[in-house]
Amino acid sequence: MPARQATSILNGISSPADVKALPADAMPQLAAEIRGELIRVLSNTGGHLGPNLGVVELTIALHRVFETPKDKIVFDVSHQGYVHKLLTGRRERFSSIRQYEGLNGFLLRSESEHDCYGAGHAGTAISAALGMAAARDMLGGDEHVVCVAGDAAFTCGVSFEALNNVASGTKRLIIVLNDNEWSIAKNVGAVAEYLNRLVTNPAYAHLHDKAAKFVEWIGGKGARKLAHKAEVGLKNLLAPSVIFEDLGIRYYGPIDGHDTALLTETFEFLKTQNDPVILHILTQKGKGYAPALERPDKFHGLGKFHLDTGETVASPTPTYSELLGTSLANFADHNNKIAAITAAMPTGTGLVGFAKRHPGRFFDVGIAEEHAAIFACGLAVQGMKPFLAIYSTFMQRSYDMIIHDMALQNLNVALCMDRAGLSGDDGPTHHGLFDIGFLRPVPGLIHMQPKDEDEFVDMLWTIVNYHEGPIAIRYPRGAGTGAVPKKKPQILEIGKSEVLRHGSRAAIIALGNMCELALEAAASLEEAGISTAVINARWIKPLDTAMIEFFARGCEVVCTMEDHVLHNGFGCAVIEHLSEQKITTPVVRVGWPDQFVEHGTVPILRAKHGITTAAAVEKMLSMLPGRKSAGIQPAA
């Protein structure tokens, strides 16, 4: 990590105007201070360290050349927007990033006028930037629109849909292709190989002199000397016959993405162009911090870490993601039909171990969830048992394929929805709070959630042995209760719930990780003399209707608890069924409200939004005859 200078430049930056006012020779110190600040703060908060270390010089150059908020800079995903935040008036609040009521880990239009577009998923920037440019053209504006997209975003189908329309959509747009060879994992596929050929093909070496003359033309003889110092980055500045040219977008690059002066000169030139252009820059993910350079996948996004070593605090028990990878690998040892698919997240979904043990049946398709879902369908048609492991928030992108390709054809595909429920510090773009709602209406699809790790492995084994169509499992981020899976997993009866505690006056039907809270709530009610049953629902679809009816007919109040939005969630399914059966027992629900939930730690957000034992107890007490104002104190 670079040493800090005696007089801090970064501390004097309160707006992009301050960046512009600095002399050119101050840029290396500013870059070093920014990297130091990123490493220091994120060691305490966690976050996307590697991507931000890689875009320091790029972000400085953008703000030296362009005038935000008038000019628009659109960051794809926007997880690499921390440097942008530091340079646009949020320096004093930067230590609050990803903390409750602090700065968000992604860009938000509501957070700053300099954030022209919010994001959290890959592949959105080119389409959004093109829309902004087209609107500018129609409205007669003169602002510049710049799109910054990593090479991984170019594996998204939507990026190519946008590229297909750029030339016909506007005459002035700057696209920056930030090429660091990584998304979260190492980039894969033909697009990554194509970009690598652009960088390494010796046939372009003769363009070095031409590139140097070009830079001299736009920036003078000083820039020519600069070009000689950036030999590797500049040798392909005018690479011909690339796919982007065929799409009507003028291509420049690759150039050194860590040379602020070169980037500044190039952007000044690109501002003068009346054609859509793409600038291909080469950067290092994790630049300036050795642990991040050694483990780009780990440092893409991580929790708190030790500054000296980069080590994080390991979970004392395996996470659900890790259990998925281990269990599937074990099952695949004895079943050659099992395959595993991920969309650029082998580490995040826990499939690294599966990939090592069964490389021929592991597929990382890049950031292409839609393709991943249809690819899984193709495997299923041929008799394979594909497990599609994608975060709940990203599975939303596959919804059409789940209905049209998977469910309509009743294909034997398993959907493994990681990070279902609250995703804490990552915020609204990453919370997995909608999958019950969008999967519940799909005909024939089985959907489940385990209460702990032991039941999780049983459910995975049940999925392996299920051959009648699509089946889904949702599970939370991180570790569960620490329940150790049995040596020999069991096949669970589909649609059969589990009674965890018997009771006669009240019943709590809890889904997945809400069972712990349900048991605590039941204990509080028992102390008040209210006999309370707790049921581990297990199945979202099909519901255990017999169990639900039994307790609803015998109890005075029913409570449902779920780590999901209440609208169209598990509780809704229970209410709908009881209504159809004309059972009038009151049902109260505990779940997330009808809004996008902010970022923060899980305990803080649960307390704020009423996902607690106290809330469950209070709601149930309010529905019990004679208990509405009894003054019973629920447990915290």
Contact assessment for residue 100 and residue 605, using Cβ atoms and an 8 Å cutoff: yes
Peptide bond preceding 318: is omega within 30 degrees of 0, i.e. cis?
no
Q: Which two tokens stand for residue 288?
A: 């300036």
Name the catalytic one among 369, 370, 453, 520: 369
Q: Give the single-character DSSP code of 600.
A: S
Q: Is 250 helix (H, G, I), strand (E, B) or coil?
A: strand
Q: Give the single-character DSSP code of 434.
A: S
Contact assessment for residue 562 and residue 536, using Cβ atoms and an 8 Å cutoff: no
Name the catalytic one among 35, 172, 235, 285: 285
Name the catalytic one among 35, 136, 298, 397: 397
Cα–Cα–Cα angle for 201, 206, 211, rounded to 5 degrees: 100
CA–centroid distance for 437 within its chain: 19
Concerning whether 136 is annotated as a catalytic residue, the answer is no
Cα–Cα distance list, 38 to 35, 304, 400 (Å):
5, 12, 39
**Among 320, 220, 297, 232, which residue's Cα sits nearest to residue 264?**
220
Cα–Cα distance list, 170 to 117, 130, 289, 353, 421 (Å):
19, 7, 40, 46, 40
Concerning whether 101 is annotated as a catalytic residue, the answer is no
3-state DSSP of 50-75? HHHHCCHHHHHHHHHHCCCCCCEEEE
Contact assessment for residue 427 and residue 599, using Cβ atoms and an 8 Å cutoff: yes
349/259 Cα distance (integer angstroms): 35
Exposed / middle / buried, residue 330 (Cβ in 10 Å: 0-12, 13-18, 19+): middle
Cα–Cα distance list, 197 to 201, 238, 498, 503 (Å):
5, 14, 57, 68
Cα–Cα distance list, 13 to 25, 38, 42, 59, 102 (Å):
16, 15, 20, 14, 19
Q: Which two tokens stand for residue 492?
A: 């669970």
Determine which helix (DSSP H) or strand (DSSP E) holds 564, and give its type and residue range.
strand 557-565
Concerning whether 90 is annotated as a catalytic residue, the answer is no
Strand 498-501 versus strand 532-536 pairing type = antiparallel
Q: Give the single-character DSSP code of 418.
A: E
User: What are phi and psi for residue 238, nearest 5 degrees?
Assistant: -125, 50
Cα–Cα distance list, 499 to 23, 518, 524 (Å):
70, 12, 18
User: Sign of the CA dihedral 177, 178, 184, 187?
Assistant: positive
Q: Which two tokens stand for residue 239?
A: 């690479």
**Among 113, 116, 93, which residue's Cα sits nearest to residue 105?**
93
216/262 Cα distance (integer angstroms): 11
Bridge partners of 279, per DSSP, are 176, 252
521/289 Cα distance (integer angstroms): 47
268/252 Cα distance (integer angstroms): 13
198/194 Cα distance (integer angstroms): 7
252/271 Cα distance (integer angstroms): 13
594/431 Cα distance (integer angstroms): 13
Q: Catalytic residues, which ones?
A: 285, 369, 397
